[in-house]
């Protein structure tokens, strides 16, 4: 039976969570709903691991929905680049669910738990679908599935803080604008090529050549995805969304949503447009790179002055997106590899940090710095996990953060940009400041009288430490992540051959 399912793994990656999502609401029991959601997420993780193992040798899996061959039919196309993203998303998805089962008990009513799991699986479906599909319009469809579910997930935080509703509304407005820009860009591409299959788009765009329409299409797609991935200065929706969303939602979104949006930008840039048009190189060199460098400093400095740890980490995420975009904007395979490896490394690091903060919220009901005085003494295990994640955020050796910075610095030096390498180091020093602020409050300030020495439940501690362990393990032994990122970069850079192959099928 398993052997008969193997050829259908690409579509099962998306269909299984999509079918399971409404069951969580229809079943009407929150405990059964959690069981369904967890088994579904675990199945998605297993499928993504199998897909990643199948394409790490450079091969490509092409799945034709309904037996209709592309470009007439919808294709799911799996290579090392999107298999790596599928693995990251499903890994975070399965780790957050045991944590969420415990944390949401304190954050919103039991009667809404089944709806939460439905929205969670829909968001997971959308993110997996965006990564798996080889159809440009389907990218938009899955983006909207994940986005609509995300707006609801953020709004679930209204029980703890009513500002979650405003944050969700602002996120909806900005997300809708981004999606509109993106779909207009897709419309322009369809207008000049008559196809939506991304591999076929690449072939036909090469025939069309550099025109005003293709330039405008690229700019619309860049702006649309820039909004989705919180590229500076299109990031204004992110701090409030991360701050007021439920703890489990913040951890899941911070580790997945912006990473998938970055993947879409990479896929269109390298697979569809293939850098055949001068406007792309000029845009990345004179727009994306300066904005990435500004984000690295401006967002890090903003983080230093935040009084809420969740908001501090949200601004840190904007800075980390800057690092990823910087790697891409170096316009080299080494830079692209650095950006992709940081995509994974930041996911595990920031996921661990937000899960640790959620443990604080669970026990003391707040994530404000002033309320975390002495928390290192009353919640030593959780605080230790946060410090380990903070060290990775800084880029201390033996953590994944160091691996990311090392690859970025190497890529900068290979392009002869010594000044960029210096800026990477300088911006990392700012992270020392805002991480130290939390360490100082947690360990050097006295705890309020009457606060009990009590850790968060084990169901919340274990997923946190799983991500901390991943950030340390892959910081010591980065062979798997570096080889996967390198293969993903190679797959994107060799997109011309893959596109031609796809069009011939």
Question: Which residue spans within 8-107 are E strands per DSSP?
Answer: 61-64, 75-78
Separation of alpha carbons 156 and 168, rounded Å: 9
Q: 362 near 247, Cβ under 8 Å?
A: yes
Q: Is the pLDDT of residue 214 over 70?
A: yes
Q: Which pLDDT score is estimated for 502?
A: 42
Q: What is the pTM of this model?
A: 0.89
Per-residue confidence at 504, pLDDT binned at 50, 70, 90? very low
pLDDT tens sequence across 342-394 = 988 989 999 999 999 999 988 888 888 888 888 888 888 999 999 999 999 88
Is there a contact between 351 and 95 (Cβ–Cβ < 8 Å)? yes
Least confident of 170-179, 231-240, 266-275, 316-325: 266-275
**Structural tokens at position 106:** 């304190």
Query: 65-95 burial string, b = 16+ CB within 10 Å, else e?
Result: eeeeebbeebbbbbbbbbbbbbbbbbbbbbb
Contacts of 78 (CB under 8 A, 6+ apart): 10, 51, 54, 55, 60, 61, 62, 63, 86, 132
pLDDT at residue number 103 = 86
In Å, what is the CA distance from 141 to each residue of 98, 144, 145, 147, 499? 29, 5, 6, 10, 22
Of residues 67, 193, 65, the one with CA closest to residue 129? 65
Find out whether 135 and 196 touch, Cβ atoms under 8 Å.
yes
pLDDT at 276: 63
pLDDT, tens digit, 9 for 90 and up, residues 242-298: 989 898 999 999 989 888 999 999 888 888 887 666 777 888 888 889 999 999 999
SS3 71: coil
Q: How many angstroms separate the first and last alpha carbons of the chain? A: 28
The mean pLDDT value for 187-213 works out to 85
Q: What value does the mean pLDDT of the chain take?
A: 86
Q: Which tokens belong to 369?
A: 């710095």
Q: In this model, does residue 11 exceed pLDDT 60? A: yes
Contacts of residue 171, defined as CB under 8 A and 6 or more positions apart, other chains included, come to 150, 151, 154, 237, 240, 241
**CA–CA separation, 135 vs 189, rounded Å?**
12
Measured in whole angstroms, the distance separating CA 281 from the mean position of its chain's CA atoms is 25
3-class DSSP state of 197: strand
- Residue 496 confidence class, pLDDT cut points 50, 70, 90: very low
The per-residue pLDDT for range 302-314, each reduced to its tens digit, is 999 998 999 999 9
pLDDT in tens, 76-126: 888 888 888 899 999 999 999 999 888 888 777 778 888 999 999 999 999
The answer to whether residues 470 and 401 touch, using CB atoms and an 8 Å cutoff, is no
pLDDT surpasses 80 at 142: yes
pLDDT-based confidence at 482, cuts 50/70/90? confident
Cα(193)–Cα(204) distance, integer angstroms: 6
Among the residue ranges 163-167, 279-283, 354-358, 470-474, the one predicted with the least confidence is: 279-283
Cα dihedral value 412, 284, 395, 89, nearest 10: -130
């Amino acid at each position: 039976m398993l052997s008969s399912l193997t050829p259908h793994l690409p579509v099962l990656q998306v269909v299984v969570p999509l079918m399971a999502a409404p069951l969580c609401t229809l079943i009407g029991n929150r405990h059964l709903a959690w069981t369904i959601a967890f088994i579904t997420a675990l199945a998605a993780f297993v499928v993504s691991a199998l897909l990643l193992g199948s394409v790490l040798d450079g091969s490509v899996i092409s799945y034709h929905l309904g037996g209709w061959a592309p470009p007439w039919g919808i294709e799911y196309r799996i290579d090392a680049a999107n298999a790596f993203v599928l693995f990251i998303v499903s890994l975070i998805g399965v780790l957050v669910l045991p944590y969420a089962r415990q944390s949401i008990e304190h954050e919103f009513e039991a009667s809404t738990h089944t709806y939460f799991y439905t929205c969670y699986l829909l968001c997971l479906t959308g993110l997996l679908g965006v990564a798996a599909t080889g159809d440009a319009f389907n990218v938009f469809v899955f983006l909207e599935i994940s986005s609509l579910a995300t707006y609801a997930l953020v709004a679930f935080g209204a029980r703890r803080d009513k500002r979650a509703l405003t944050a969700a509304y602002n996120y909806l407005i900005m997300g809708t604008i981004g999606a509109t820009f993106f779909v207009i860009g897709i419309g322009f591409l369809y207008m000049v090529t008559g196809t939506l299959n991304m591999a076929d788009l690449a072939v036909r765009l090469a025939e069309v050549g550099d025109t005003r329409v293709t330039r405008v299409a690229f700019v619309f797609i860049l702006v649309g995805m820039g909004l989705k991935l919180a590229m500076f200065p299109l990031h204004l929706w992110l701090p409030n969304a991360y701050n007021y969303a439920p703890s489990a939602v913040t951890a899941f979104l911070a580790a997945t949503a912006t990473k998938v949006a970055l993947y879409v930008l990479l896929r269109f840039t390298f697979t569809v447009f293939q850098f055949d048009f001068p406007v792309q190189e000029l845009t990345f060199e004179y727009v994306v790179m300066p904005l990435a460098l500004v984000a690295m400093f401006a967002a890090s400095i903003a983080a230093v002055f935040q009084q809420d740890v969740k908001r501090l980490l949200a601004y840190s995420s904007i800075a980390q997106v800057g690092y990823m975009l910087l790697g891409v904007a170096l316009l080299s395979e080494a830079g692209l590899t650095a950006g992709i490896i940081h995509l994974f490394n930041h996911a595990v690091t920031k996921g661990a940090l937000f899960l640790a903060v959620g443990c604080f919220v669970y026990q003391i009901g707040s994530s404000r710095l002033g309320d975390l005085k002495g928390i290192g003494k009353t919640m030593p295990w959780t605080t230790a996990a946060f410090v380990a994640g903070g060290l990775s955020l800084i880029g201390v050796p033996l953590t994944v953060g160091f691996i990311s910075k090392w690859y970025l610095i190497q890529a900068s030096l290979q392009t002869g940009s010594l000044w960029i390498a210096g800026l990477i180091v300088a911006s990392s020093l700012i992270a020392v400041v805002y991480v130290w602020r939390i360490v100082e409050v947690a360990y050097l300030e006295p705890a309020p009288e009457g606060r009990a020495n009590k850790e968060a439940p084990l169901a919340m501690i274990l997923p946190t430490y799983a991500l901390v362990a991943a950030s340390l393990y892959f910081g010591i032994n980065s062979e798997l992540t570096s080889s996967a990122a390198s293969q993903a970069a190679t797959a994107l850079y060799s997109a011309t051959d893959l596109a031609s192959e796809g069009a011939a099928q």
